[in-house]
Structure 1
Amino acid sequence: MDRIRKAVFPVAGLGTRFLPATKASPKEMLPVVDKPLIQYAVEEAVAAGCDQLIFITGRSKRAIADHFDVSYELEKELEKKGKTELLEQVRAILPGYVKAIHLRQPHPLGLGHAVAMAAPVVGDEPFAVLLADDLMLDERPVLAQMMDLHQRYQSGILGVAEIPREHSTRYGVVEKPSPEAAPSNLGVVGRYILPARIFHFLENAQMGTGQEIQPTDAIAELLGERQMLAYRFVGPDFEEYLRDLCGQFR
């Protein structure tokens, strides 16, 4: 099976959980140490072998497209001042062989609707979905770990992680259970590998909670046709990793 080359980034949300920081700036552009959230997700996808990045944006997300675009004026100024190291960093934000495609989601109809918008670009290939505000850091990218499993089983993959049982209502499951009723302490996190068949179920999905189309409902329908695997990814404790990372910049 050919490797997965296309990665979808649903970045059209309003980021209300991060207000007031996101009133005028996309949550995906919030900095973590020395890079915005979205850049970590893009680097993860590129490191896993994706070279076609599909951003599903909203009307207030122009900064994301600008971040991954060429900034001729900035590069010229850095070159003029001899700031070679900074110039190289700016040019490395998106490798030259990687193609970025930006599609605008006209209505806030949920994550499932955002993913469905990528159908004309994805076509009939399996593809990855990365939620930038689920930051995952490891020596080997989480998506690359999931790619290995996909190659082996030729199946869709959901990234999962251990969560505190009392947080079970916060994560993507078919029905959000109470902590007492949760069947396990594994929650779906923001990494997916999906077959193109998912678009059929997304396009025919009914509105769910909050009048939005949820990908978990479409995945539940897909399970009637084929298997989907959950992958408990290997990676460090994020809070500990972030503390160590921040310490390097003190």
Structure 2
Amino acid sequence: MTHKPIRKAVFPVAGLGTRFLPATKAIPKEMLPVVDRPLIQYAVDEAREAGIEQMIFVTGRGKSAIEDHFDIAYELERTMTDRGKDISVLEPTRLGPGNCAYVRQQEPMGLGHAIWCARDIVGDEPFAIFLPDEFMHGSPGCMAQMVAEYNRVGGNLLSVLEVPHEQVSSYGVIDPGLAQGKLTEVKGLVEKPKIEAAPSNLIISGRYILQPEVMRVLEHQGKGAGGEIQLTDAMAQMIGNQPFHAVTFDGARYDCGSKTGYIEANLAVALSRPDMADEVRAMAQRLVG
């Protein structure tokens, strides 16, 4: 059975990044670097690896640096070329004409509202969602793993990770059904359950493939937790009406919305790179010792 391909991805990047103030006073949190690439670049690279063609950024005030990052920097490239420097390092930052779109979320009304702001660009197609501060580190990338499963079963998919049971109350958790390999049927979603009431220890981890019908649900979605329009509430309404599965990501997740998670991501990426792993490992051992 063939399914409509996943050609578009939505990146909700309108958040204020208050947990990283004052660093994020003038710089979007999505532009904070993990070693030498900003968080948003990792997410876009993950999307490209999965075969996604169009990147849709839902931005807010003060986010113009994201647009500049994915544009051509004529002056920089000319200066580097004149000085004999290699500009191939900038190649991943270029998004071709028509391959990126920007839409403004004027008010901070929640993740569901941010996704709904992209409805006209998404159109009547299934689409991916990336939360860039959920840094997913693995090969193949998280979305490539999800697209492979989507091509088999279609419908809606969430990325999940297994965590210790004592941590489940900090996350959204799935109520699992039949499991086959890394694919698990989703019977329900529970936001930050009590440990004793959690239906599983599989947490939702910042990557989604959703059918366009979610936009119609979001259009009439009332405010939920925190007085915001929640994507989780809209997805919960779709369960039972459309196929819904979770894909257990084979890789590591770092919460770059927290300072300690961000530092951990930098260390993990540095240790995975042959050009710096030995030096960083020795440095870490000196600091810890």
TM-score, structure 1 normalization: 0.93
User: Which structure 2 segments of 5+ residues have no match?
Assistant: 174-189, 255-263, 280-289
Paired residue for 1:70, among 68, 72, 77? Answer: 72
Answer 1 or 2: which has greater strand percent.
Answer: 2
The equivalent residue for 1:121 is 121
- Displacement, 1:236? 4.4
Q: Give the secondary structure class of the aligned counterpart of 1:92.
A: helix
Could you list the per-position Cα deviations for residues 204-238 of structure 1 after superposition, in whole angstroms to 9, with x for gaps in the alignment?
11101221111000001011411210111111476
User: Which structure 1 segments of 5+ residues have no match?
Assistant: none
Following the alignment from structure 1 to structure 2, what is the Cα–Cα distance between the partners of residues 15 and 229?
30
Task: State the Cα RMSD in Å.
Answer: 1.9
Q: Give the secondary structure class of the aligned counterpart of 1:135.
A: strand
The equivalent residue for 2:233 is 217
The equivalent residue for 1:230 is 246
- Displacement, 1:19? 2.4
Q: Is the 8 A contact 2:134 2:253 kept in 1?
A: no
The equivalent residue for 1:133 is 133
- Displacement, 1:108? 0.3
Q: Is the 8 A contact 2:9 2:47 kept in 1?
A: yes
Following the alignment from structure 2 to structure 1, what is the Cα–Cα distance between the partners of residues 95 and 62?
25
Task: State whether structure 2 residue 81 is matched by structure 1 residue 54.
Answer: no
Following the alignment from structure 1 to structure 2, what is the Cα–Cα distance between the partners of residues 207 and 95?
35
Structure showing greater Rg = 2
Among all aligned residue pairs of Structure 1 and Structure 2, give the percentage whose two residues are the same amino acid: 50
Structure 1, 132-141 or 234-243: larger mean CA deviation: 234-243
Query: Which ranges of 4 or more aligned residues in structure 1 deviate by more than 6 Å?
Result: none
Q: Give the secondary structure class of the aligned counterpart of 2:135.
A: coil
Following the alignment from structure 2 to structure 1, what is the Cα–Cα distance between the partners of residues 171 and 199?
13
Could you list the per-position Cα deviations for residues 150-188 of structure 1 after superposition, in whole angstroms to 9, with x for gaps in the alignment?
111111100000123333233234332112221211110
- Displacement, 1:98? 6.9
Aligned AA (2:159): G
- Displacement, 1:5? 0.7
TM-score, structure 2 normalization: 0.81
Structure 1, 191-200 or 1-10: larger mean CA deviation: 1-10
Q: Is the 8 A contact 2:45 2:92 kept in 1?
A: no
Structure 1, 11-20 or 134-143: larger mean CA deviation: 11-20
